[in-house]
Amino acid sequence: MRTPSDKWDNEWLEIEGPQDVLICAVNHKELLRYRGKRLSEVAAEWHEDPIDTIFDFLIRDDAATSVAVFGMSESDVALALQQPWVSVGTDDSATSPEGILGVDHPHPRAYGTFPRILAKYVREQGKLSLPDAIRKFTALAAQREHLSDRGVIKIGMWADLVVFDPGAIHDVATYDDPNRFSEGMSYVLVNGVPVIEQGKMTGALPGKVLRGAGLKSDRMVARSASAQD
């Protein structure tokens, strides 16, 4: 971790120090009090070197800890967003502020990725036009995943639609309080069914799993296993 190399992505050497690592979600209850704390704070409390603290924390938490690492350059983010071939997604899992998911402590991007781009980079900074941003969220993203029946508004497509106020939409999730819905969203339709109506959740569950070309069905796997036997 301390040795510079171009063979792998060493995030430890990409940040200024342990203060740039924030504990988000943990697996074991006895570690819950460390959510929202910086690695530097934990290391100071445990009287350990920060790297030793990382390993000891992972051992205590069965390697199930998730963190936020503050190592990105704002200018790089803005430059990437402006490239016409760059689509936008998020690697955080879908979550809810209610039920068992509501006790988790995700990265704020779980709730605020797209509204943040619309508020910060489109409305406030003018790095992107609104049509450019929408294309990166929808049509371009669907094309990259080879989802030919989604991503645009057209007869024969699945009706996944969003109605929002471009002058008001913004994210409110923070690192300290991430389980918060963004504001300014009026309607969200999934497969033609409203799941958010007049800013409120309807409780409808019309979504479906989207399976790619690489999926092997149980029947195919069984047939393959039989052939090997």
The model's pLDDT over 172-210, given as tens digits with 9 standing for 90+, comes to 999 888 999 899 999 999 999 999 999 888 999 999 888
Give the β-pairing of 193-197 and 185-190.
antiparallel
The model's pLDDT over 50-83, given as tens digits with 9 standing for 90+, comes to 999 999 999 999 999 999 999 989 999 999 999 9
Q: Per DSSP, what are the bridge partners of residue 185?
A: 164
Q: What percent of the chain has pLDDT over 90?
A: 69
- The pLDDT value given to residue 64: 93
- The pLDDT value given to residue 224: 52
- The pLDDT value given to residue 220: 55
> What's the average model confidence in pLDDT over 87-101?
85
Residue 94 has pLDDT above 70, yes or no: yes
Query: 3-class DSSP state for residue 23?
Result: strand
- The pLDDT value given to residue 198: 93
| Total-model pTM | 0.82
> What's the average model confidence in pLDDT over 121-130?
97
CA distances from 93 to 106, 109, 137, 184 (A): 9, 10, 16, 22
Compute the mean pLDDT over every residue in the chain, rounded to the nearest whole number.
90
Query: 3-class DSSP state for residue 38?
Result: strand
- C-alpha 210/C-alpha 229 separation (Å) is 32
Q: What percent of the chain has pLDDT over 70?
A: 94
- The pLDDT value given to residue 119: 97
Contacts of 118-122 spanning 24+ positions with Cβ under 8 A: 118/164, 118/166, 118/169, 118/170, 119/169, 119/170, 119/171, 121/78, 121/81, 122/166
- C-alpha 194/C-alpha 196 separation (Å) is 5
Structure tokens at 199: 């800013």
Which of the four pLDDT bands, split at 50, 70 and 90, describes residue 103? confident
